[in-house]
């Protein structure tokens, strides 16, 4: 049995067609069913539906053999115990700095509010800027408006969320997409099943690109 951890929402929606190409279609809809474990059209494959940020944890501890999750989530969690064999090219967005439209350029010190503490710390360190990082769990856009921070680090897609709050994207930190991750021990113990799934997904991605 192979267990794949996926989060509800945009990653799930984008992953479905890819998984379908590998013969894996859930027999329940997670939006209407309350089940957290979904059986699929492949009797040897099940999906566990969890929070995006929990996907690397399930895979690291082997509670799931594989997972699909954002590069942002992988970096913040740390990649220990995980292989990352494929960039699935789904749920794409950009990790960016953002600030009020009238914000002065960053000097040698800056106060940054973000959910992405590791990414923010590494980014500002790489620029030699001293950043005081304030960890938030959501609604980062509020921070510059109420004076909690000068800048935020957040995911940006259309930029509408920023604009609606009087902010604008400033610098690109890195492009983000979702990755296939694999538990290192499972990769050895279930090598054939996992490798053939990786190959099928890779073939699908290559055919899309061609």
* Interface residue list for ligand PRT (CB under 6 A): 7, 9-11, 51-53, 70, 72-73, 91, 93, 154-161, 176, 178
Nearer Cβ to ligand PRT, position 11 or 48?
11
Of residues 71 and 190, the one with the C-beta less far from ligand PRT: 71
Distance in Å, CB of 178 to ligand PRT, minimum: 6
CB atoms within 10 A of CB 94: 15
How wide is the angle at C-alpha 181 spanned by C-alphas 177 and 185, nearest 5°? 170
For ligand PRT, give the closer residue by CB, 14 or 202: 14
Closest contact distance (angstroms) between CB of 107 and ligand PRT is 26
CB of 29 to ligand PRT, least distance (A): 16
Q: In the bound complex, what is the minimum distance in angstroms from residue 93's beta carbon to ligand PRT?
A: 3
Nearest distance from C-beta of residue 181 to ligand PRT, angstroms = 13
Report d(CA 205, CA 166) in Å as an integer: 38
User: Residue with the closest Cβ to ligand PRT?
Assistant: 70
- Measured from the CB atom, the residue of 92 and 184 that comes closer to ligand PRT is 92
**Closest C-alpha to 88, from 207, 209, 210, 201:** 201
For residues 70 and 144, which CB has a smaller minimum distance to ligand PRT in the complex?
A: 70
Helix (H) or strand (E) holding 99: strand 93-100
Q: What helix, strand, coil percent values describe the chain, rounded to 5? A: 35, 35, 30
Residues whose CB falls within 8 Å of the CB of residue 17, separated by 6 or more in sequence, listed in order: none
* Residues 160/53/88/94 CA torsion (nearest 10 deg): 30
């Amino acid at each position: 049995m192979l267990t794949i951890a996926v989060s509800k929402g945009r990653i799930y929606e984008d992953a479905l067609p890819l998984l379908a190409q590998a013969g894996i279609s859930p027999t329940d809809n997670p939006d209407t069913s309350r089940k957290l474990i979904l059986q699929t059209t492949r009797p040897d494959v099940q999906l566990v539906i969890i929070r995006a940020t929990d996907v690397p944890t399930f895979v690291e501890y082997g509670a799931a053999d594989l997972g699909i999750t954002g590069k942002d989530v992988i970096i913040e969690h740390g990649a220990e115990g995980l292989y990352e064999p494929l960039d699935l090219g789904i749920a794409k967005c950009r990790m960016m700095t953002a600030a009020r439209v009238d914000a002065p350029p960053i000097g040698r010190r800056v106060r940054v509010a973000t959910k992405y503490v590791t990414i923010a710390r590494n980014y500002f360190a790489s620029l030699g800027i001293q950043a005081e990082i304030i960890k938030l769990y959501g609604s980062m856009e509020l921070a510059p408006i109420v004076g909690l921070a000068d800048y935020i680090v957040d995911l940006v897609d259309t930029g509408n969320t920023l604009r609606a709050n009087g902010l604008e994207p400033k610098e690109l930190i890195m492009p983000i997409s979702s990755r296939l991750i694999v538990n290192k021990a499972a990769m050895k113990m279930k090598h054939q099943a996992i490798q053939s799934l990786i190959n099928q997904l890779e073939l699908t991605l290559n055919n899309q690109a061609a």
